[in-house]
Amino acid sequence: MKTRKLGDLEVSEIGAGCMSISANYGPPAPIDQGIEVIRAAYEKGVTFFDTAEVYGPYTNEKLVGEALAPFRDKVSIATKFGFAIDGTIGLNSKPEHIRKVVEESLKRLNTDRIELLYQHRVDPAVPIEDVAGTVKELIQEGKVRHFGLSQPSAATIRKAHAVQPVAAVQSEYAIWSPDVERNGVLAICEVLGIGFVPWGPLGLGYLTGKMGSSTRFDPETDFRGEFPRFQPESLVANMPIVDLLKRYAEKKNATPAQIALAWLLARKPFIVSIPGTRSLDHLTENLGAVNVQLTPQDMEEIEAARSKITIHGEIMSARHMAQYDHSV
């Protein structure tokens, strides 16, 4: 496992998204299983672990803190503030709320600092300069090391970066989701020396090739059941992108998931994906992507094929997508 830079923060070239162990894509895994998977990731070279207070809520941070305790000084933890967590999916990035969240996250994570603190969603009610200024103070106090933004616009990134350098931007990005290529976010990260962390690099599981028209999601525990891209008709209509990944998987003696992750690794040198899993087998499979080499010619061929594929349905529900930042 090689390393990459998110601003000045050096981490493993693939990280571990921990959310799905505890929440949102099915019932929570047993604590022991979650700890085993997180520690196995570390043993396989992962040094970058992603969580948030809203995952659970709160339970995922506790899990991550317990799992990483034996080697805390050898890893970087990313967590997030920004949701109100009041029974709605409302936002709150008021400076006093940020400070409260950080104190509580430090306790749950059983640590004295957070390597990367993201604003989980841009709060239109709070100027981004105030958010960046608050995180700057937390960095000066030693409680936080680096500042990140999730689902920001290019304009917001510029404004925040002028107050406190942004180390990383985390937004949805995968071979079937090119938004950040088109809206200037990936470009501004490259210009400003900001790392990019794609969430959903495996298409919330779809790009593994293990879903089909009969796949169903528990409405009580799995968000995907309300997402347009995961309705039965979309699961069928989007199969051409999986077929593309399968073709290259055969060519490279890999799996579709490994091709999806290798594609992101080859896309830009400042991209660090955070695939999530609660399965040791899937963890091993995901991390094997670092051994899959896609040549410039492969990337050109994939791009030509990808450009001809129409993706059906939004990745999340309208209420979730409404919280993406499109400010200019």
Positions marked active-site: 55
What residues contact residue 67 under an 8 Å CB cut-off, 6+ apart?
34, 35, 38, 39
Q: Which residue has the tokens 């200019």?
A: 328
CA-to-CA separations, 285 to 41, 46, 140, in angstroms, rounded: 11, 13, 39
Beta-strand pair 114-119/16-17: unpaired
CB 106 within 8 A of CB 145: no
**CA pair distance 215, 210, nearest whole angstrom:** 9
CB 14 within 8 A of CB 46: yes
- How many alpha carbons lie under 13 Å from residue 230 in its C-beta half-sphere? 22
Cross-strand bridge partners of residue 79: 117
Query: Which DSSP letter does residue 14 get?
Result: B
CB 257 within 8 A of CB 174: no
50: left (phi over 0), alpha (psi -120 to 50) or beta: beta
Cis peptide before 57 (omega within 30 of 0): yes
The DSSP element (H or E) to which 119 belongs, if any, is: strand 114-119
Of 326, 328, 319, 327, nearest to 90 (Cα)?
319
**CA pair distance 52, 65, nearest whole angstrom:** 12
Of 50, 65, 46, nearest to 20 (Cα)?
50
- Token pair belonging to 93: 């990035």
CB 131 within 8 A of CB 123: yes
